[in-house]
Chain A
Amino acid sequence: MSKMAKNSLQFMLARRLTVTVSIFWLAGSVLAAYSMYHEMQEAFDNSLVTTAYRYAPLIDDYLQRHDGGSAQEVLPSPAKGEIRTEDHGDGDGDEELGEDYLMYQVREGGGGLLLRSYNAQENPFEAPLIEGFYNEQDFRIYTAVLLGGTRIIQVAEPLEHRREALFESVVAQFLPIVLLIPAVIIGVIVALRRGLSPVLRVRDAIEERGEGNLQPLELDDAPEEISTIVTAVNRLMEKLDAALSAERTFTAHSAHELRTPIAAALAQTQRLVLELPEDHPGRIRARQTEESLKRLSRLSEKLLQLARAEAGVGLSPTGENQRLGTTLGLVIDDLERVADGAGRIAFDPKQAAALSANIDHDAFAICMRNLIENALKHGSDQEKVMVEVIGSDTVRVSNAGDAVRPEDLDDLTSRFKRSNTRASGAGLGLSIVKTIVGNINGELTLHSPRPGKPDGFMAELRLHQS
């Protein structure tokens, strides 16, 4: 059974149900104990009355046979009918209350003590000699007036006995309840878990969707309350999916619509440069136009990448980890073909085979292209740009060259920020990477100088695995 969070619905319901059930249970028990107390008092009192009247003929008989009796005479207790002189084994030699808790005194009408049971005190009870109940300090006494007031029987019961009986009854009632409360808690938790299982399944399903999967939730056996939520969430995800698709389609179309005319202009300009004679004044202008078109091309590429990043691209569409080794290899292969990258990238494809993360291939390619392009652009020609795969979720791109000032390092991921204004670029690359990394719950860490080296720059991209 997994541990419940304190602010979970399960925990709150379990706590409230347990506390409420326990309070009502205890309150019911207190009321029952109160009622039991009165019933017991009544039963004990009845017992005193019954004893007094049951003994009356026996005592009368005894007194007739013993010529009136005397105060020194003792009779058996009402319970046992015999005199007990041994103790109960506690070694104090006293007779114990045990079941011989009732005692009596027989008084004459004037108050003189005629007889007493062996366990009754030698002195007369303080209770007045009138019919009814009386409480002494330690006894509950019933006085029965017989033979027209010439003979009186007083039956006494120690109050301690009543308290003990009541205590035992209350304990007998409350002990099972106290023992049952933990069982109630466990029962409530189990019942809640079962009852809330559709809610937990919906929660898990929504959590999975949070990882980039916008497939509708399937919960056919859910109770009505939950199925309403499921329907609402599915409708919301459908809208979100449509919005994201529209955004992606728009950027894809924009890419096509923007790139094609730039491509035509650039190709025509390059032809113009080649067709104009070397000394033609228009050739310089054509060259400048060519350079401007190349810059425009790079800027449009970065702006489209930024638009994609801000449209939320990043997580794998299936929500599952993707193997990224081939994608990384293709990006590096592509960059090695351009003049900047030819022979300047050190990369071991075997290392990349283990690379796997919950990221869309295109988003990963955009990140890697930007990090490696940056390293090629700002790095020294004397040392190759290193692309290393660490474990299965981390890629490091490092280059030699001037170190970035510590105060500038954090600013590098801001838009249109460049560490070195001599190098060409829009200053958007690291900002794009940071945005995508944010979309996938990954981490981008920049180091300058490189760890273990006096110079250079290293970007570490830690990807998120599902």
Chain B
Amino acid sequence: MRILLVEDERYLAEAVRDHLLASGDAVDMTDSVVEAEIMLRGTPYDVLLLDLNLPDGKGIDLLRGMRRAGSVTPCIILTAQDQISDRIAGLNAGADDYLVKPFDLNELSARLLAVARRYSGNPNPLIRLSGDEGGAIEVDLASRTVLVNGGQTDLTSREWALLDQLLRRPGATLSKAQLEEALYEFGAEIESNTVEVYVSRLRRKLGKAVIHTVRGVGYRIEG
């Protein structure tokens, strides 16, 4: 997933970023409302992680502005404001979830997945796919496990991120650029054939029939 993290506490932001990167997500980070607005206009983020008290403004105003402009980017508020009225105000402003600091990083990951699943239109974390020669592939988005014909297959974080990206829009063809954008944050060094490399690795592990190539357009997983 491509995630925008808006947080002004540097050590917290770095830890969250590292945790999400380790999970295979691409994370862009800023501590400014103005910068976040610019980044949101230019990049299709999968999730926005938003602190409320920022040096140049209120995170809640940024969220309201986004929703007024018609943005449907999922948003999880990360804040030290623990009152129920703050939470209600955040949810009313258009947040999808609300996590009070301090939080467990695993809890954050679980909430991210839940929100992303809700937006993909498939809240069920268990997805079944058809493998080669009628084989069965079972993907559990919650526990991040993949069973190929009943046997567990380990995926690296980038492989997982690519699979997750395709699974969240089953039946839709995603371009190479879209996948690169979802997998890598700003400034990351991307080789020209990176997507092809990870698609190839996934096909080796899951079977050739799982990911379809649409020539000249991109890649697709059938729903």
Contact with B along A259-300 (1 / 0, CB 8 A): 111111111101100100000000000000000011001000
Interface residues contributed by chain B, number (CB under 8 Å)? 27
Interface string of B58-100 (1 = CB under 8 A from A): 0000000000000000000000111111011000000000001
Query: Are A327 and B81 in contact, with the CB atoms below 8 A?
Result: no
SS class, residues of chain B in contact with chain A: helix
Number of cross-chain contacts by CB at 8 Å:
83
The residues of A that contact B12 with a CB separation of less than 8 Å are 260, 263-264, 267-268
- List the B side residues contacting A266 at CB < 8 Å: 102-104
Which chain B residues (98-112) contact chain A, with CB distance < 8 Å? 100-107
A331 at the interface (CB under 8 A from B): yes
A-B contacts, 19 of them at CB < 8 A, read A252-B81, A255-B80, A256-B81, A259-B100, A259-B102, A260-B12, A263-B102, A264-B11, A264-B15, A270-B104, A293-B102, A326-B88, A327-B84, A330-B87, A338-B107, A362-B83, A364-B84, A365-B83, A365-B84
Q: Is the CB of B22 within 8 A of A330?
A: no
Query: Smallest distance from the beta carbon of A358 to chain B beta carbons, Å?
Result: 16
A218 within 8 A of B: no
- Contact string, B16-31, partner A, CB cutoff 8 A, digits 1/0? 1011001000000000
The reply to whether A361 and B81 contact each other, CB–CB distance below 8 Å, is: no
Q: Given A256-B53, A297-B102 in contact, is the A267-B85 Cβ separation under 8 Å?
A: no
| Residue in B15, B81, B83, B87 whose beta carbon sits within 8 Å of that of A267 in the complex | B15
Complex contact B88–A268 (CB within 8 A): no
Complex Cα distance, B10 from A266, in Å, reads 13
| Complex Cα gap A364–B85 (Å) | 11
Q: In this complex, what residue of A is CB-closest to B105?
A: A270
Closest 3 CB pairs of A and B: A267-B15, A365-B84, A263-B101
- B189, CB-defined interface residue at 8 Å: no
Give which listed residue, B22, B80, B84, B85, contacts A274 with CB less than 8 A.
Answer: B22
Which of B15, B82, B84, B104 is within 8 Å of A268, CB to CB?
B15
Say whether A301 faces chain B, with CB atoms less than 8 Å apart: yes
Task: Give bound CA distance, A256 to B101, whole Å.
Answer: 9
Q: A264-B12, A267-B15, A271-B19 are in contact. Are A259 and B80 (CB under 8 A)?
A: yes
- Chain A: CB-nearest residue to B104: A270
Find chain A residues with CB under 8 A from B85 CB. Answer: 361-362
Contact pick for A301, options B81, B82, B84, CB 8 Å? B82
Known contacts: A259-B101, A260-B12, A362-B85. The answer to whether A267 contacts B80 by CB under 8 A is no
Would you list which residues of chain A between 352 and 386 have a CB under 8 Å from chain B? 361-362, 364-365
> What 20 additional pairs, Cβ within 8 angstroms, besides A252-B83, A259-B102, A362-B84?
A255-B80, A258-B80, A263-B12, A263-B80, A264-B10, A264-B12, A265-B11, A266-B103, A266-B104, A267-B105, A268-B11, A268-B15, A293-B102, A301-B82, A327-B84, A327-B88, A337-B107, A361-B85, A362-B83, A365-B84
Contact A264:B22 (CB < 8 A) given known A271-B105, A330-B87, A361-B88:
no
We find that the number of chain A residues with CB closer than 8 angstroms to chain B is 32
Interface centre among B11, B18, B81, B82 (most CB of A within 10 A): B82
Residues of B within 8 Å of A326, CB to CB, are: 88
A307 to chain B minimum Cβ distance, whole angstroms, is 13
Per-residue contact bits, chain A 327-341, to B (CB 8 Å; 1 contact, 0 not): 100110000011000
Q: How far is the CA of A80 from the CA of B12 in the complex (A)?
A: 124
Query: How far is A455 from B16 in the complex, measured between Cα atoms in Å?
Result: 44
Q: Please, what's the 1-or-0 string for A306-348, where 1 marks a CB less than 8 Å from any CB in chain B? A: 0000000000000000000011001100000110000000000
Taking a contact as CB atoms under 8 Å apart, the answer to whether A255 and B81 are in contact is yes
Which residues from chain A contact B133 at a C-beta distance below 8 Å?
none
Q: Which residues of A contact B107 (CB under 8 A)?
A: 337-338
Assembly CA distance A259 to B103 (angstroms): 10
Q: Which of A264, A274, A338 has the most CB of B within 10 A?
A: A264
Quick check: is B191 within 8 A (CB to CB) of the other chain? Answer: no
The chain A residue sitting closest to B83, CB to CB, is A362
Distance (whole angstroms) from the CB of B55 to the closest CB of chain A: 13
The CA-CA distance from A172 to B9 in the complex, in Å, is 96
Q: Which of A259, A294, A297, A331 has the most CB of B within 10 A?
A: A259
Say whether B16 contacts A267, CB under 8 Å. yes
B-side contacts of A263, CB under 8 Å = 9, 12, 80, 101-103
One digit per residue, 1 when the CB lies within 8 angstroms of any chain B CB and 0 when it does not, for chain A 221-240 equals 00000000000000000000
Which of chain A's residues have a CB closer than 8 A to the CB of B9? Answer: 260-261, 263-264
Please give, as numbers and ranges, the residues of chain B lying within 8 Å of A297 by CB-CB distance: 102
CB proximity of B71 to chain A, nearest CB, Å: 24
Question: CB-CB < 8 A to B22: which residues of A?
Answer: 274
Residues on the B chain within 8 Å of A256, using CB:
53, 80-81
Shortest CB–CB separation between residue A461 and chain B, in angstroms? 16
Could you mark each residue 373-415 of chain A with 1 if its beta carbon is under 8 Å from any beta carbon of chain B, else 0? 0000000000000000000000000000000000000000000
